[in-house]
Structure 1
Amino acid sequence: MLTHKTFHSKAAIIHATARFFALCLLLQTPLLMAYAHYSAHHIALWWNLTFHILCAFTTLYLCNKGLPTRARTLLLTSYYSYIVLATFLWRGDMYIQHFLLIGCLCCVGVFSQHEQRPRLYWGLLFALTFCAIDGLFSYSLHGWQGAIRRSNSITLTLASVGLILTLHAHSRRHLHHLAVNYRHTRQLLIKATPAAKLTSAFTPPLSHVPNTPLSRFSSSASTGFSTGLMRQSFSSACVLFADIKGYQTLAPLFGEQKVIEALDAFYSQIDVLAAAHKMYPVKTNGDEYMAVSELCMFPPLSASNGKQKGEQKSAHHINNGVLFALAVTATFKIFALKEGWPCQIRIGVAAGPVTAGMPRRQHGIFDVWGNTVNLASMLEQHCKGNAVTVCDSTFSHLTAETQAKFCPILIDSKIGELAAFEHRLTNTH
């Protein structure tokens, strides 16, 4: 598959070659008018020229219609047939067959590096046809003239085929190095992205890079890019949203740069807590912080894992997520006292099915979507200061010890009244 840039460059080359071929055929018209009567096949010569002029202009039409592959096939076929027919229609050896070598060399430009086999096939067809025709004409020559003529034909044929094979081998090595570099870069990207571990259990590994060119390797180009974090749905996850109530008042009091540095230091502390509770930071947006539980512990919706085993894993990681939220609340209270921030933190936690992975666009980042994510964000927005609010589904997965820290509340949200559970951090905690 050709990339967008390669597609247009090859189309331009094919269009230019077709124009040159059409011009050369038109220039043959005066030649036929002057000398066609010397040939016993002068009518066939005119038909041959007329037909191939039509083929050349049809090739230009296909290029203008955005069909370069069909145009290329027609161009090569018509060029090959015109040279072969013209060679036998003219009486005697006019050395017309040597133009077949030009067609052989043109295969280098009209095929991309991913189209190795058709380039090689067409190049061999032109070269071997030239060798056969020239050998036929030089068969009647004897002595040193025949030897030189045949050796020159073989040398030209081998030189043309050797050039095609050299470029073929070079393209194979180039593609192999590209595939190896792509694999290495992809592995580095996954290692450098903590969120990549979220779907590692269900992400198919990159296939082994063979020693042959990977025409399939370019399939990633059609989707923008692929890092192995393919978007997929999961049966259960714990999603956390946190933000700082009163954050907008800090910049006038402490200075914007100092607030940003302090907030970054706080996020660094939270990242350590997240790792300890098997939670992974997804993204930050200003003072807002989003994290999700380890998705590789939950089966995708298409998996046939045991229901009881899946529920046990969900309960364990959802309980971890809530404990993480409680730890963040306590950590922020100490942090705010140290920095002198007149702020409080709000955290919303929801559990349920989610979709996670990379967006299908060039500049997307790993993200999590779904009603569970929306619910967690809504709980955070309706949460009171220095409090953790969880949905009823999250509460049902908690241990009895963790449940005892929460009390039931009702939230008047934009989708109606929601039953939730809240834990408020008081001065006694």
Structure 2
Amino acid sequence: MINHHSNGLLLRCISLCLIGMVCLQSIKLVWQAELIDIQAQVISLLIHLMCFMSASFLAYSTHRTLSRVLLIGGFISFLCTAILLWQADLHIQYFFIVGLFVCLFLFEDSERIAMWVTLCILGGLFLYFQIIHDFTTPINAEFTDDIATVNAIVLVLSFLVCGFWVKRQLTHQNTTTKQELIHTKKVVEAIIPMNMQANISHIANRDKSALNVVEHNYCAVLFVDFAGFTPFSLSMSDAELVSFLHRVYCEFDDIASQLDVTKIKTNGDQYIAAIGIENTKLNAYNISQLACYFSLQLQSTFAKACDNKLRLKIGIASGNVLCGIIGKLRPAFDLWGNSVNLSSRLESSAKGGEIRVCPQTMLYSKQHYAFSEEQKVELKGIGNVTSYKLLGHK
């Protein structure tokens, strides 16, 4: 359905067209001044001219409904009066067809009853004057043919104007729809990794019992948390805290975008990311080393962002993961698997400024990165696990 601005524009355009028709009728009166009902014609023209001018004036105000009533009522009254006063078949009744076409765009979806009543009235009047009504006024044939020709030309022009207007509205609507689709696509691309976007239509219309999950044999999962965040958060207002988190996470996102790292989500002061989900061409060595490099970059960036008032603690675990979208309400992309649990527990066991990694990550990265000696840590729900602290580049 057309919007309010377009509706007002249409009402005003139609009003101006009808004012033009009234002026055309005035020209007819000048040509055929010997008509018996000349006084009635003049009165009709003046009344309808005022009616259409009022409809045009109200079209851009808050009284669009009144404008529409004046327009439709005046249109029907004007045509009926003209036909009955002239009593000659000048093809005036065909303008009811124009009214039928235009009225389809003058009513909202919630006004279907009013629309159908109006359409029935217009259609019935056209059929009556076209089939049943007997035109009896004797007007010379040459004049009748001239006026009928003028009316036919105006009728064609009216349909052309309406057709171009409809085409313009459809083009505008199509452009708006395309822009909304592009915006939606960008939002989806920011939320769902590229290799899962092929299934986006299936995800949007999915069977609620189906799993929309992809398995990856080797990925690195990173859990990033702020050490000492609770005392730090008490020193500022809620708005300042959210602003701080937004600024930090935006910087993390920029680094992730540059390094082909997939951000999964944030949870308060926790930032979760993964490597190897979108770029499946990376091997285990590339994935593990990129995880180490990304972690060190986050530490460096964070130290500058918070002026060393806080420190990061990071857990990295590599291995098999499942990723995708599950559930019915507010679907969101997420990860599952032992590697995810291990990464979370490694982050929890780390101290401020530490980056704890699993043995697999260390083995695939030790050529370029330095690690501490192996350390046995007791992880909640997992047990005694071997881990290493990432010390930096070699």
Q: What is the TM-score with the length of structure 2 in the denominator?
A: 0.48
Q: What is the TM-score with the length of structure 1 in the denominator?
A: 0.45
